[in-house]
């Protein structure tokens, strides 16, 4: 951990693309509970994933990525590509994530992709893999009030945008954050 704002966390694209998950994760980061990091390539993967839903979804994702970059100017890791040489992961397409995490002195890779980020390989580099639900629940246990505030804001936004009277528990479960859902009720 860096001692200033909690652990440095490299956020994989599969955490940034689902809207509610991203809003919770980045909301918790904005509360100072961890330092978010990513690369331009990860942001591009986020936009390409959204593009599968159409051009409007891609435009929204690119706008959201620009807003996230503004909110977290320290998040962008650059000049990490040279670190890719010699690194190995089950999926070679994910090596850039590991290289960026190493170069950015991250503590954690936050990903929903456990299979392609084996804990043993990451440990060789002093890195830990956590899934979003695991990290959000751990941060909730450490500091429940700011996490609950983020969940309340995310819930209000989801209700307003969808016209659905979500409960926090239902919204978080749908967003693949069931442990956090159980904790906040």
In a domain, 154, yes or no: no
In a domain, 106, yes or no: yes
pLDDT digits (tens, 9 = 90+) for 119-149: 999 999 999 999 999 999 999 999 999 999 9
3: confidence class by pLDDT, cuts 50, 70, 90: very low
In a domain, 169, yes or no: no
- The Cβ of residue 73 has, within 10 Å, a number of other Cβ atoms equal to 7
Which CATH number covers residue 59? 3.40.50
pLDDT digits (tens, 9 = 90+) for 57-113: 999 999 999 999 999 999 999 999 999 999 999 999 999 999 999 999 999 999 999
In a domain, 35, yes or no: yes
Residue 1 has pLDDT above 70, yes or no: no
Output phi, psi for 128, to 5 deg: -120, 145
The four Cα atoms 132, 50, 114, 90 give a dihedral, to 10 degrees, of: -150
In a domain, 160, yes or no: no
- Amino acid 5: pLDDT: 74
In a domain, 173, yes or no: no
Domain that holds residue 120: 8-131
**Per-residue exposure over 140-154, b if at least 16 CB sit within 10 Å of its own CB, e if not:** beeeeebbeebbeeb
Domain count, the chain: 1
pLDDT digits (tens, 9 = 90+) for 146-169: 999 999 999 999 999 999 999 999
pLDDT digits (tens, 9 = 90+) for 14-65: 999 999 999 999 999 999 999 999 999 999 999 999 999 999 999 999 999 9
In a domain, 45, yes or no: yes
Give the three-class secondary structure for 167: coil
Cβ-contact 42, 76 below 8 angstroms:
no
Classify the phi-psi angles of 130: left when phi > 0, otherwise alpha if psi is within -120 to 50, otherwise beta: beta
Q: How far is CA 170 from CA 9, 20, 64, 135, in A?
A: 26, 12, 24, 19
In a domain, 141, yes or no: no
């Amino acid at each position: 951990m860096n001692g200033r704002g909690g652990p440095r966390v490299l956020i994989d694209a599969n955490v940034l693309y689902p809207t509610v998950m991203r809003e919770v994760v980045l909301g918790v980061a904005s509360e100072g509970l961890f330092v978010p990091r990513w690369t331009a390539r990860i942001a591009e993967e986020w936009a390409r994933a959204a593009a599968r839903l159409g051009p409007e979804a891609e435009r929204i994702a690119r706008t959201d990525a620009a807003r996230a970059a503004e909110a977290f100017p320290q998040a962008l890791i650059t000049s990490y590509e040279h670190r890719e040489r010699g690194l190995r992961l089950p999926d070679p397409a994910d090596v850039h994530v590991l290289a960026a995490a190493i170069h950015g002195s991250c503590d954690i890779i936050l990903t929903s992709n456990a299979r392609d980020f084996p804990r043993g390989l990451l440990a060789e580099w002093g890195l830990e893999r956590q899934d979003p639900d695991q990290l959000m629940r751990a941060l909730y246990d450490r500091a429940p009030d700011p996490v609950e505030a983020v969940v309340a804001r995310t819930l209000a936004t989801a209700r307003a945008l969808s016209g659905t009277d979500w409960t926090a528990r239902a919204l978080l479960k749908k967003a693949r954050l069931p442990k956090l859902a159980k904790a906040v009720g």
